[in-house]
């Protein structure tokens, strides 16, 4: 299977419910789990399944995504043949959330024409998953399917599709005649002249489409049962490597049930929280049920409960911030939050 599959990741998805966290970055580049980006999960699934050619189709605000992935070296995709490719969308106005836009693909047809892989695996960018694609590939061929749509156990589409590259090219080239604009149009057309199959995926998979489920999915990482389904020794989730010193915990610090990345300085209390790289938490500060992104500074005697701090946020001493599990308090990237600013 290794040389037969082409990976295609649609990174154009935008959800208004995530605006506070994606107004300056692609959803694919949204930090997750303290040291990962959301795209790491499907990209790692592809690489671990033997895919060696991956095309990423972003739309806007993709600088942080390109900075994160770089040449693809961490995923072993910096290759003379195949490797990692970026194809930003030339279309300013389009219908978001249509995974596998044929118009977007059409603007980059040379990539598909030159591909030597017989099949293409098309996916969204925002599903938290650790998937082995090999069983799907084998099932697809045994069932003699033209297109296989991967679905959740409850029947909902996971917006992932397996298709012959030659058929994908045909669908793109004939899009104006058929009226098909994306993969969903094809698989939901009951009169389509293709054998459409549906593969039920039984593993852990959550699609991030709102701050509510971003927060709840992140918090579930603190449960050993969920952690063990996502982070497998034989199928590692790969991410950008950064050289950071170990986190320093001062004598007064208290940490319970938390994920804390490298390079932090912890002087306060951290409970049921996810702390990214380079975060500083001052003496007397209490952090509960929070997601704190990279290089945030939380000064002395602050209290944060059910809060999401985007990167580079500074919380001044004595600040009290609380949200709820279904409505976390979100502070945008690079802002300053002080006690006198609280409503």
Q: Are residues 194 and 296 in the same domain?
A: no
Provide the pLDDT for residue 126: 96
Do residues 272 and 255 make contact, with C-beta atoms less than 8 angstroms apart? Answer: no
Q: Are 220 and 256 within one domain?
A: no
Same domain for 112 and 199: yes
Looking at the fold, whether 162 and 210 belong to one and the same domain comes out as yes
Count the Cβ atoms, other than its own, within 10 Å of residue 63: 13
Alpha carbon separation from 109 to 48, 104, 112, 186, 253 (Å, rounded): 26, 9, 5, 19, 56
- C-alpha–C-alpha distance, residues 136 and 202, integer Å: 12
CATH of the domain at 322: 2.160.10.10
Residues, the chain: 343
Closest Cα partner for 61 from 36, 28, 86, 94? Answer: 28
- Range of the structural domain that residue 18 is part of: 5-230
The answer to the question of residue 240 being in a domain is: no
| Terminal-to-terminal C-alpha distance of the chain | 57
> In terms of domains, do 109 and 258 share one?
no
Q: What is the pLDDT of residue 70?
A: 93
50 domain residue, yes or no? yes
Residues 40 and 90 in one domain: yes
Domain for residue 253, yes or no?
yes
Domain boundary among 230, 258, 274: 230
Could you tell me if residue 77 is inside a domain? yes
pLDDT in tens, the chain (343 residues): 556 999 999 999 888 899 999 988 999 999 999 999 999 999 999 999 999 999 999 987 889 999 999 999 999 999 888 999 999 877 645 555 678 889 999 999 999 999 999 999 999 999 999 999 999 999 999 999 999 999 998 999 999 999 999 999 999 999 999 999 999 999 999 898 999 999 999 999 999 999 999 999 999 999 999 999 999 999 999 999 888 899 999 999 999 999 999 999 999 999 999 999 999 999 999 999 999 999 999 999 999 999 999 999 999 999 999 999 999 999 999 998 876 555 4
Residue 62 counted as domain residue: yes
The pTM of the full predicted model, rounded to 2 decimals, is 0.94
Number of domains in the chain: 2
Q: Do residues 160 and 123 make contact, with C-beta atoms less than 8 angstroms apart? A: yes
Same domain assignment for residues 220 and 274:
no
């Amino acid at each position: 299977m290794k040389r037969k599959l082409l990976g295609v990741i649609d990174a154009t998805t935008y959800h208004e419910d995530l605006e506070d966290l994606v107004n300056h970055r692609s959803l694919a580049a949204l930090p997750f789990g303290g040291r990962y980006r959301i795209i790491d999960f499907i990209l790692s699934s592809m690489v671990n399944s033997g895919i060696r050619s991956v095309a990423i189709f972003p739309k806007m605000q993709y600088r942080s995504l390109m900075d994160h992935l770089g040449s693809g070296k961490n995923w072993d995709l910096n290759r003379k043949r195949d490797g990692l490719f970026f194809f930003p969308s030339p279309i300013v106005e389009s219908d978001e959330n249509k995974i596998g836009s044929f118009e977007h693909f059409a603007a980059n047809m040379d990539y598909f024409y030159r591909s030597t892989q017989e099949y293409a695996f098309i996916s969204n960018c925002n599903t938290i998953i650790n998937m082995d694609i090999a069983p799907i590939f084998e099932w697809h061929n045994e069932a003699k399917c033209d297109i296989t749509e991967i679905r959740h156990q409850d029947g909902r589409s996971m917006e992932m599709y397996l298709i012959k590259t030659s058929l994908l090219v045909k669908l793109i080239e004939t899009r104006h005649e058929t009226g098909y604009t994306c993969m969903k149009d094809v698989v939901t057309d009951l009169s389509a002249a293709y054998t459409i199959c549906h593969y039920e995926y039984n593993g852990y998979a959550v699609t991030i489409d709102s701050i509510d489920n971003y927060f709840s999915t992140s918090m579930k990482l603190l449960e050993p049962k969920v952690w063990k389904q996502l982070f497998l020794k034989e199928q590692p989730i790969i991410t950008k490597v950064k050289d950071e010193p170990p986190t320093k915990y001062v004598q007064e610090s208290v940490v319970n049930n938390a994920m804390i990345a490298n390079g932090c300085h912890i002087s306060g209390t951290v409970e049921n929280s996810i702390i990214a790289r380079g975060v500083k938490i001052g003496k007397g500060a209490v952090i509960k049920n929070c997601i704190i992104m990279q290089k945030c500074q939380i000064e002395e005697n602050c209290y944060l409960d059910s809060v999401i701090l985007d990167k580079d946020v500074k919380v001044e001493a004595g600040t009290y911030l609380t949200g709820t599990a279904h409505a976390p308090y979100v502070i945008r990237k690079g802002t300053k939050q002080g006690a006198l600013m609280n409503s």
